Homo-oligomer: A and B are copies of this chain.
Amino acid sequence: MEKVRKLLESKNIRPTYQRLKILKYLTESKEHPTVDRIYGVMKKDIPTISKTTVYNTLNSLVEAGVALPIIITGKEARFDSNVMPHHHFYCEKCGKILDLKVECEHFKKGSIHGHSIKELHGYYKGICKNCL
């Protein structure tokens, strides 16, 4: 919990109870949760929490560079506290999003064809090992 608090303070984000819990859950979870999922989990500890707070907090974390939204389905965003460049696998059957450790020479580039690169996103869609 101290690590999470330090992380927030280093980004000048006030470490409120809601924010600490949300970021802690995000760092410990490997499931790239949706807002609804985060909201549901948070309610156990903070029954009064509002979904707007979840949205506000996630937006703050993203803006501060501590989290990343993962846009794949276009239905709902999912969130990742691992902001190091990495690829994902989206299973069309179970809906899980898995981290992939794949080499990608494109991560290294700062520009391409004259366009300035800020982020690179790569993901596969298919059926995961478990669902096959």
Contacts and interface: CB of A to CB of B under 8 A. Distances in A.
Interface of A: 69, 71-74, 77, 89, 91-92, 98, 100, 102, 104, 106, 111-129, 132
A90 to B, nearest CB: 9
B129 A124 contact: no
B102 A129 contact: no
Work out how many copies of this chain go into the complex.
Answer: 2
A-side binding surface: helix, strand, loop or mixed? strand
Contacts of A116: 126-128, 132
25 contacts: A69-B74, A71-B73, A74-B77, A89-B113, A91-B115, A98-B115, A102-B112, A106-B124, A114-B129, A114-B132, A115-B124, A115-B127, A115-B128, A115-B132, A116-B126, A116-B128, A117-B124, A117-B125, A118-B125, A118-B127, A119-B125, A119-B126, A121-B122, A122-B122, A122-B123
Given A71-B71, A72-B71, A74-B71, A124 B100 contact: no
